[in-house]
Structures are given as structure tokens and as C-alpha cells.
Amino acid sequence: MLSAIGRAFRTPDLRRKLLFTLGIITIFRLGAFIPAPGVDYGNVQQCLQLGNTEGGLYQFVNLFSGGALLQVSVFALGIMPYITASIITQLLRVVIPRFQELHQEGAQGQAQLTQYTRYLTIALGLLNATTLVSLARSGALLGNCPVPIIPDDSLITIILLILTLTAGTGLIMWMGELITERGVGNGMSLLIFTAIAAGFPTSLGEILRTQGWNVFLGVLVIGLFVVMLVIFVEQSQRRVPVQYAKRMIGRRTLGGSSTYIPIKVNMAGVIPVIFASSMLYLPSLIAQFNTPTDGQTAPPEWVNWITTYLTTGDHPLYMALYFAMIVFFTYFYVAITFNPEEVSENMKKYGGFIPGIRAGRPTAEYLQYVLSRITLPGAIYLGIVALIPLIALVAINANQNFPFGGTSILIMVGVGLETVKQIDAQLQQRHYEGLLR
């Protein structure tokens, strides 16, 4: 492995790509510690030391920003506006026929969809920045901290702060696209990987400090097992064989080859976990806006119920709803992204067929049957991995950003595998032995 990494850095063009990627990642991490204009960094650190934000509503977004959100830095919004915009654009293909037509037009249509995603990212960044500044002004962002985060809340300061946070989102999006074009791997995925990986040392250090060496070593063993499980499932796929008939075009004979349709066990990736987490945060957000602020008026009964059962992840009802929603959104997202009828029509157009299955509707029905069967273990797997941080919250009193579970481990392993595969492919193109064996 070390010799393969050395060969990668000895190859001039690959070394240039790797160093460029590392440089962009360094800038991304530095931006997480630069305070936004108008923010009192000392007061922010004082509020964080009080610990009132632990397990709060914004820890999920803070995870994807690499801790920049609760630092109220220039990159506080992180990559989340782009992720949300990408998901919305993908879902709109089902609702807006024009989006589906662009998706089928190839590179030109994809470029237009990417442009729409950029515009939507800036719009969502502006909305999220306004919300973040409002929460920071009221003190709700950091658990009703007694010291002000924004001492000077004049109109000019607020506008400058909102514009800075929105510009930070645009800069992150641009840096991610630069990595994709000139670096190694998918830029947006690598930035998310970096943001999540930045929190691992802190989380493990907190476990060691509060729980001792025995629990710490136990967490490492469990973490190694979870990583192996994620790698195994993420690489698992059902290969549906496809045979192409021979065709004569002029004097050339085409077809007659055999291939397969790879249907992954986890086709939805981490999207169902993000959907389920976001949906479960909505009741807490609604309850927060309906809680009296005078400290004397009792909150409504339904607010107490939400606070008791749907706010903390250590309640069995919360875990059950979380698991059920992940299973539901897995089937929902797979149904949107994989269309058996479209695959069947494309196969029929080019003379392809599944051995033993007639072309057309029987092929679509067979693909739907295989898809529904293989999605079930994938959905259960996602639910179990996502529940690991909540179980750790009960077992060892860890926070909800427990490193070996949930979205963090899924994204890190998935992005790590894809990046290593790309480096391996580029090494093999240059007649070197790759990273993977």
C-alpha cells in the first residue's frame, strides 16, 4: 500500500492532482475557523464550553460543516445547501417533465441541471444564512447562551453577515467543482468526507476522557466491525445477466455479447438517513417555536409530548420511528432513481434481453421484483447503521455524533472507497500496480 502511494506521488500528473486536492481541502478546513464578520469569537467559545448544544437540533448540520456551524465561521453553512439543492433537483425530475428531458439529453442536459442546482444552492444558502443569523441573535443557536454572539446587531452588520455566509456556501460549491475537474475524486463528496473526518479525533477523545480506556478500546473494536460491515454491504450487488443479440449493420456484426445490470444492495446511499433525520427534526423545530419564552407560562401538552418522545434519540419511540422512516425513504428513493420500465425499453431498443425473460413488460416486472427483494436488506442495513449512535447514546452516554455509525461512517467509507478506486484506475492506466488487489 505504501509503495503504491509512493508511485502515485512519483507520477507527475497524478501528483499534481493529489496536491491540488489536498490544497483545496486545506483551504476548506481553514475557513471553518475564520469567524464571520460581526461575530464575537470569544463569546462563541464561551457558549460552546457551557455544553448546552450537545445533542441539539443543529448538531446534524454541524456534522456536515465540520464543526463550522456552531463556530459561526465564514463556512458555517458548509455543504448542506448544495446537498439539499441536489436532492431537490433530482426529485423534481419526477414532477417536472422538462427536468426529466434534460436528464435524458446527455452531457448538455446534465450541464443545464447542474446550473439549476447552483442557482438553487445560492437561494438555499441565503435562506439558511438568514435563519442562522436570526438564531445567533436570539441565542437559541448555542443553547440560549447568556453572552451575545453578535454584539453589534445593527442592520448593516446583519446584512454583511448574511452575505458572507451565503458567499461561503458559493465558495465551497466552487471548490468542490474544482476538485472534480482538476483533482481526484468527486469534489463535493471529498469535502463532506473532510468535514466529517475532522470531528473523529474530538469524538474519540471525548469518549476516552469520560469513559476510560476499556470503553474506548471497545468502541474501536466495534468501530472496526462496523467499517467492515459497511464495506461489505456497499460493495455487494445483484448482477442481473443481459444478453445482446447479434445484428448486422452494413458489413459489421454488432452485439452477441453478454453483460449484466448491477443492482446494489444499498442503491439509496445515505439519502434515506438524511431524509429521516430531517423529518424527525421538524416536530422539535415546531415545538421550539411554540414554547413560551417568559419562563412562567406552561407550554401546551403537545409540546411536552414532543419534547419527551421526539427530541432525544435515547427514547424507544424515537428509535422506532427513525428506523421505520429510513426503510420507507429507502424504498421511496430507489423507486425514483431506478426506473425498471426505462431500463427495459433501453434494453429492447438495443436488442438486449435477460435470459429466460421476454423483452418489454415481463423484463420490467422482473427487474421490479429483483429490486424490491434486494432493497429490503439494504433498508434494514441502513436502519441498523443509523441507530448505532442512538444506541451508543444510551449505552455509554455518547453524543449523537458518535463516530462509528449513522451518516458519518456511511459517507466516509463510501467516499473513501470511490476515491481509492479512482486513484487505482489512474495508476493502472499508467501500467502500474494499483492500490487495490
**Domain residue ranges in the chain:** 1-198+412-437, 207-404
DSSP 298: P
Using DSSP bridges, classify how beta strands 247-249 and 352-353 pair: parallel, antiparallel or unpaired: unpaired
pLDDT in tens, 348-378: 887 788 888 888 888 888 989 999 899 999 9
Number of helices (H), then strands (E), in the chain: 17, 5
CB distance 379 to 197 below 8 Å: no
Which 3 state secondary structure label does DSSP give 185?
A: coil
CATH of 1-198+412-437, one of 3.90.420.10, 3.90.180.10, 1.10.3370.10, 3.30.2130.10: 1.10.3370.10
Residues with Cβ within 8 Å of 313's Cβ and at least 6 positions away in sequence, in order, are 55, 319, 322, 389, 390, 393, 400
The confidence score (pLDDT) of residue 357 equals: 83
CB distance 73 to 36 below 8 Å: yes
CB distance 386 to 276 below 8 Å: yes
**Which amino acid appears at position 322 of this protein?**
Y
Which 3 state secondary structure label does DSSP give 310?
A: coil
Cα separation, 42 vs 25, in Å, equals 26
CB distance 73 to 86 below 8 Å: no
Are both 1-198+412-437 and 207-404 of the same fold?
yes
CB distance 140 to 92 below 8 Å: no
CB distance 382 to 326 below 8 Å: yes
The confidence score (pLDDT) of residue 55 equals: 45
Question: Can you list the alpha helix ranges (DSSP code H) found in 183-315?
Answer: 187-197, 200-211, 213-235, 271-289, 301-309
Averaged in consecutive runs of 10 residues, what is the pLDDT profile of the chain (437 residues)?
66 84 90 83 74 51 65 82 84 81 79 89 90 78 73 85 91 90 84 82 79 82 85 87 72 68 85 80 71 63 74 76 90 86 83 82 89 90 84 66 70 82 76 56
The confidence score (pLDDT) of residue 119 equals: 92
The confidence score (pLDDT) of residue 57 equals: 46
Is domain 207-404 in CATH 1.10.3370.10, yes or no? Answer: yes
Which stretch of DSSP H or E encloses residue 437? none
Which 3 state secondary structure label does DSSP give 421?
A: helix
Cα separation, 106 vs 431, in Å, equals 31
The confidence score (pLDDT) of residue 278 equals: 74
